[in-house]
Structure 1
Amino acid sequence: MLTDLEELVTCESYSADHAALARSARVVADQGSRLLGGARPRVFDVAGVTHVQWTFGTPRVLLLGHHDTVWPIGSLKAHPWSVADGIARGPGVFDMKAGLVQMFHALAGLPSLDGVSILVTGDEEIGSHTSRALIEDLARRCAATLVLEPSAPGGALKTSRKGVSLYDITVHGRAAHSGLEPEKGVNAATELAHQILALDALVPNLVEDTGPGTTVTPTVMSAGTATNTVPARARLNLDVRVPTTAAQEAVDQLIRSLRPRLPGARLEIDGGPNRPPLDADASRDLFALAVTTAEHLGLGPLLPAAVGGASDGNYTAGVGCPTLDGLGAVGDGAHADHEHVRTATMPERARLLTHLVGALR
């Protein structure tokens, strides 16, 4: 398993690098084929993003993962692949290349793969824009989805996830010389600051109306073109996390109701809900099965976890397919310098998945 993990981790697969994704998809396809009895997948490109899919018979169980990572090409130099003292490190090792290795080894332990569908996408980290339709279509035809994203702390399974909305707010102002005639300009940066403060003031009331757990976070901002020019344009990215669909709709209405504060400024609001919340009801029966299975295998108690991060499991649950997430690696540090996997847990998680898939087919 560690040899296979090294093969995936050392093939870098930054989401924004389509050539790297194509190389990574070939490695995933070859590794999966070797472990799945020689079965070759469908490797296909959607808008430059490469995905990998296997289908065995009439699918009842969808196994879902992704091979893209948040790590830019060259990250291996600062974060090289390594295994020491039972800890594997490297870009994407936890999120979620170890999950893919565990999945392939788990399925290799089944006498038959009939009824299994596998989808490994190439754009999960950036919103699954090219794969969402396929994910939802497959989920509608299956009785269960098992997601190989990494576990929550301590190996807990992810039984609920917040929904995600993403917005791009552009402020249109008017340029002017900041020394000669600043009064003739409309400062887009100042208007953007007003909008950020307005959002900050509105969110507490929103949380009071829709319940705790809603967050609205300004992330990437830019404004202006020169130090002596009143900015004519400013941009803001917003990351919104919500516990319920009602909260997601309320935040959307709030953001679309924003109005400019400066005379002559104009707002352009793009984006909206990206992933619906994964409600605990969608995981309840599958989690109970996983707990019973783990006890039978002597793997110790499994715990549930509600997390703020989203995955493609949000999409499968959103179309009504029972979904259990976090079945992948046990470790920590997703997207961070300390990303790592506890290697001793990899065979255990693979065994659990083998028996879950066997029970669900």
Structure 2
Amino acid sequence: MSDFRALIECESFSHDPAALARSAQLVSRIGTGLLGAAPQIIETDSHPHVLWRFGTGPREVVLVGHHDTVWPSGTLSEFPYSVHDGIVRGPGADDMKGGLLIALYAMAQLRNERGTLDGISILITADEELGSPGSRTIIEDEARGATAALVFESGAPDGAVKIARKGVAIYSLEVTGLASHAGVEPEKGINATIEVANQVVAIAALHDPSVGTSVVPTVMHSGSTTNTVPAKAVVGIDSRAAAVAEQERIDGALRALQPTVAGAKIELKGGINRAPLEEKMAMGLYARAQRLSGELGHPPLRSVAVGGGSDGNFTAGVGTPTLDGLGTVGGGSHARTEHAQQIWIPRRVELTAALVGELLDEDRVAEA
């Protein structure tokens, strides 16, 4: 709990390079003390990612977390660390400073039991809350070919782990028309507002909640003044899908959009950010975790599918079986109600150590 407090009180806003540097150094010090080895710090665009890589052979199990938070520097003065009736509060308590500590403490337990962590990687990134633009390649390279990836985002409020996440795609559709005076000669213009409006209707028609697909036109801008035919317009699009095939279908449909107003031009920018974490990528690991949880005397381990993305989407996207939600159990992430339940922390440490140990043993038996 002293490490938990230290991490929460070391603010690490995703957009504050100095704070992230201090946080990375603290994560490194805590982990070095627990694991007996110093990590490598890999910096991308002023975001320091912390990587422990044990052994020189192929990766067998990769543990993934992040130390950046959505909380602007200075939040701590209004939302301080506290513990009351077994509830830990503070910026990053549930998302996910407690989770990264669970990963580190579980591997410390495993090291004490076995004397080695060969084949294990622990990667704590610094830009997950931004969509992992700099760390994505590191995550994918570390996970590719591994037996399992375990992700330490928070679990559901009842302790359920996360076996599925929707894939995320972000686009902007840009429309180019032609300006003219709206009162004197509107016929000489090409109205970008009419074009973008027609496109919004077509985009919204792709939305299909019956198969878990959302396609949502979001922020939109058009025109410059009330008496000018708009020459430019843009609309943002947020799309989420539960299956790879569905995500690809939506991507293709958006790229096939055609102008509806004579002379207008449209350009689609952006694309798929995260492939889905599909249930089939998690079920084997989930079954193991369920069994081990029972053997450890924990409450029955349940599962949940969620709409938000995580770095688990990337590990699953390169074909690595992935189980998410192994971090703290609490709630309120990104809100002043953020909290973690103390009672679940030792359970998660025990479960993670047991799961990784079993995976390592099976890999080595198979190799022999």
Normalised to the residue count of structure 1, the TM-score between the two structures is 0.90
Give the SS at the match of 2:207.
helix
C-alpha distance 262-73 of structure 1, shift in aligned 2 (>3 A): farther
Counterparts of 1:99-118 in structure 2, within 5 Å, are: 99-110=99-110, 111=112, 112-118=116-122
1:160 equivalent to 2:125? Answer: no
Q: Is it true that 1:32 corresponds to 2:36 in the alignment?
A: no
**1:180 to 1:56, Cα distance in 2 relative to 1, 3 A:** same
Aligned to 1:9: 8
CA distance in 1, matches of 2:191, 2:80: 45
User: Which of 45, 49, 53 does residue 43 from structure 2 map onto?
Assistant: 45
Q: Following the alignment from structure 1 to structure 2, what is the Cα–Cα distance between the partners of residues 83 and 229? A: 59
Choose from 192, 198, 211 the match for 1:194.
Answer: 198
Q: How does 1:171-250 map to 2 (within 5 A)?
A: 171-176=175-180, 184-204=188-208, 212-225=211-224, 230-250=229-249
Deviations 1:159-199 (A, max 9, x none): 11211111122222334556666655444344333322221
Tell me the secondary structure at the aligned position of residue 4 of structure 2.
helix
Is structure 2 residue 136 aligned with structure 1 residue 128?
no
1:331 aligns with 2:330: yes
Structure 2: where are the runs of 5+ without partners? 361-368
CA apart distance, 1:264: 3.5
DSSP 3-state at the match of 1:138: helix
% identical equivalent positions? 51
**How far apart in 2 are the matches of 1:186 and 1:77?**
53
Paired with 1:44 and 1:277, the residues of 2 have a C-alpha distance of 26
Q: Quote the residue 2:148 is aligned against.
A: 144
Equivalent position of 2:295 in the other structure:
296
Deviation, structure 1 residue 54: 0.4
CA distance in 2, matches of 1:170, 1:257: 14
Alignment of structure 1 residues 87-106 onto 2, 5 Å? 87-106=87-106
Residue 73 of structure 1 aligns with which residue?
A: 73
| Residue in 1 that maps onto 2:364 | none
Q: Distance in 1 between matches of 2:48 and 2:229?
A: 43
Q: Give 3-state SS (helix, strand or coil) of 1:166's partner.
A: strand
Query: How many residues in Structure 1 have an aligned counterpart in Structure 2?
Result: 354
Map of 1:266-285 to 2, 5 A cutoff?
266-285=265-284
State the alpha-carbon separation in 1 of the partners of residues 89 and 184 from structure 2. Answer: 56
Which ranges in structure 1 are unaligned for 5 or more consecutive residues? none
CA contact under 8 A between 2:165 and 2:309: conserved in structure 1? yes
Change (3 A) 1:23 1:265: farther
For residues 105 and 157 of structure 1, the distance between their equivalents in structure 2, rounded to whole angstroms, comes to 19
Query: Which stretch shows the higher mean deviation, 338-347 or 245-254?
Result: 338-347
Cα distance between partner residues in 2 of 1:233 and 1:351: 57
Partner SS, residue 120 of structure 1: strand
The separation in 1 between residues aligned to 2:154 and 2:90, in whole angstroms, is 15
State the 1:146 CA deviation: 0.8
Matching residue's letter, 1:120: I
CA 1:186/1:146 → structure 2, altered by over 3 Å: closer, same or farther?
Answer: same
Rounded Cα–Cα distance in structure 2 between residues aligned with 1:126 and 1:193: 29
- Post-superposition offset of 1:227: 6.1
The residue aligned with 1:18 is 17
TM-score normalised over the length of structure 2: 0.88
* CA-to-aligned-CA distance 1:71-99 (integer Å, 9 cap, x gap): 33333344333222222222222111110
1:300-349 deviations in whole A, cap 9, x for unaligned? 10011111111111121122211111100101122233222112211221
Which shifted more, 71-80 or 296-305? 71-80
1:165 alignment partner, SS class: strand
Comparing 51-60 with 13-22, which one deviates more in the overlay? 13-22
The one-letter code sitting in structure 2 at the alignment partner of 1:217 is: V
1: CA distance, partners of 2:141 / 2:174? 33
Match of 1:312 in 2: 311
3-state SS of 1:65 partner:
strand
224-233 vs 301-310, which deviates more? 224-233
* 1:203 Cα deviation from its structure 2 partner: 2.5
Map Cα deviations across residues 40-66 of structure 1 (whole Å, 9 max, x no partner).
110111233221100111331100111
